[in-house]
Structure 1
Amino acid sequence: MLTSVNFIQKNATRFIGTALVCGSALLSGCAGASVTNMSAANTPATMQAGVQSTMHPDTIYVYTFAADPQQVKLDSGMLQKLKTQMSGSSDAQQQVADADAVREQVADEIVKKLQAQGLHAVRTDAPVPADQNVLLVQGSFQTIDSGNRRRRMLIGFGAGKSEVTTSVQILYKPAGGEPRVVQSFNANADSGKMPGVVETAGVGAAAGTVATAAAAGAGLHGVSETKRAGVSADAKHLGDAVAKQISQMGVENGWISTAQKS
């Protein structure tokens, strides 16, 4: 016959294993990005004799997306505010720093993903060569919101979520010609809806392992916050989503093979 201590230990082990497995699934499945409101314009070529030639860029130039630091929402938690104050920086300075960091991360991630597919992608904020067929990736941020890390950890399910949203324009400029928009869309990324420590501890409490549940839950969420640390991780996911959309457009227009896209 199991003693109370043995029963708790046995269920505690079971709970920790279940929490880690479920937590792993949540980490990989909840946070992410999506593309919406896609609008595809006519391709740069004109219809002649019933045949449409498609664009084929020599280089993809990725511009740093525009962002207004005043629109940046800092972490609303008291601990984060105290940390900012202790660092000696003002809210305005932190907003500028956050905006710059997200702009850099998104542009770098787009280029990285496109280069991984063997494409000639380059970051630039300068005019592009006039004698090349080029694709231009431009955009502007609508939201850079750090949310509330404490609420994400304790409550979860979207409470205190971080979020980054942007509008994107893809332009094609043929050699010697003028650039024109060929596709526009919105991209959004957030920290997801993973349950918080309170919910995790509640599951453990039902099994009679409150202390162990709370400890396991806190550890699990500590790992999750490291893996998807607010707008930094959101920026990466958003860059991935933009790169995938460009790849899809390339497949549809014949300058990216299905093998490259995968």
Structure 2
Amino acid sequence: MNQGVNQGVSQASVQAQVRADVIYVYSFDASPDQVKLDSGMGQKLKTMAAGGSAASEQAQTAREAREQVSDEIVRKLQLMGLHAVRADGPVPADSNALIVEGGFQKIDEGTRRRRLLVGLGAGKSEVRASVQIMYKPANGSPVLLRSFSADADSGHMPGVAETAGVGAAAGHLAESAAADSGLHGMSEAKRDSISADAARLGDSIAKQVAAAISANGWMPVGQAG
């Protein structure tokens, strides 16, 4: 059972003379048209029953992904003992600060039905973002420390077709699915959403931020893990 988090990293080594006192994390850019909604009929019926539209659901999913990623980055950095905060406006001119910002490249809900029934990564959900980490000295201009791309997905949890066993082999997949889908579905619902992917992405980005800080000698290497 793997939950994918992949990174491609490029780094500009910049040794700042003064350590950053605070880490400002901005909400990542995201637009509704980047969101690929679950194409399953069940999800479509759910949207219709709620009186919504695909456009409104895309907008809501984009907003939630932005908030989830930024909140998770801040939470994980704070757990490392670092002074990290969400930011909405300009960085104070007199601050020695790190700035974390970026933009989503992909927000894909996948197809939950395929994840549940097939597994092996079929229908997986996925989020991907480009990220920039910059250092801004007090009364100075930001300098790029590191830029990279990162993505997270719902992984490769086995589907009902894989776990149905003898019942499926005897041609009774529906009966086996009925027996298995309850616990399987509850487990899947907790980990296959865009929100869960965004949390994993935020965790991955926080580790990269800590690594950039460590590379500049501002925190012990072991603390960046």
Instruction: Please give the per-residue CA displacement for 1:197-232, whole angstroms capped at 9, x wherever unaligned.
Output: 011114665699978854553234213312203211
Secondary structure in 2 matching 1:157: coil
Deviates more, 1:66-75 or 1:194-203: 194-203
Q: Which has the higher helix share?
A: 1
Residues 32, 234 of structure 1: 8 Å contact kept: no
Give the corresponding residue for 2:14.
43
Please tell me whether residue 165 in structure 1 is matched to residue 128 in structure 2: yes
Distance 2:44 2:175 in 1: 31
Give the corresponding residue for 2:56.
93
Gaps of 5+ in 2: none
Secondary structure in 2 matching 1:250: helix
Distance 1:146 1:68 in 2: 15
Percent of aligned pairs with the same residue?
A: 59
Please tell me whether residue 190 in structure 1 is matched to residue 153 in structure 2: yes
Residues 102, 235 of structure 1: 8 Å contact kept: yes
Give the corresponding residue for 1:32.
4
Give the corresponding residue for 1:82.
45
Equivalenced residue count is 225
Please tell me whether residue 261 in structure 1 is matched to residue 224 in structure 2: yes
How does 1:112-261 map onto structure 2 within 5 Å? Answer: 112-202=75-165, 205=168, 213-215=176-178, 217-261=180-224
TM-aligned CA distance change 1:95 to 1:211, over 3 Å: closer
Q: TM-score, normalised by structure 2?
A: 0.92
Q: Detail structure 1 runs of 4+ shifted over 4 Å in the superposition.
A: 203-213
Give the corresponding residue for 2:36.
73
Larger radius of gyration: 1
Secondary structure in 1 matching 2:164: helix
Q: TM-score, normalised by structure 1?
A: 0.80
TM-aligned CA distance change 1:215 to 1:88, over 3 Å: closer
Give the corresponding residue for 2:71.
108
Give the corresponding residue for 1:17.
none
Distance 1:101 1:194 in 2: 24
Distance 1:117 1:176 in 2: 27
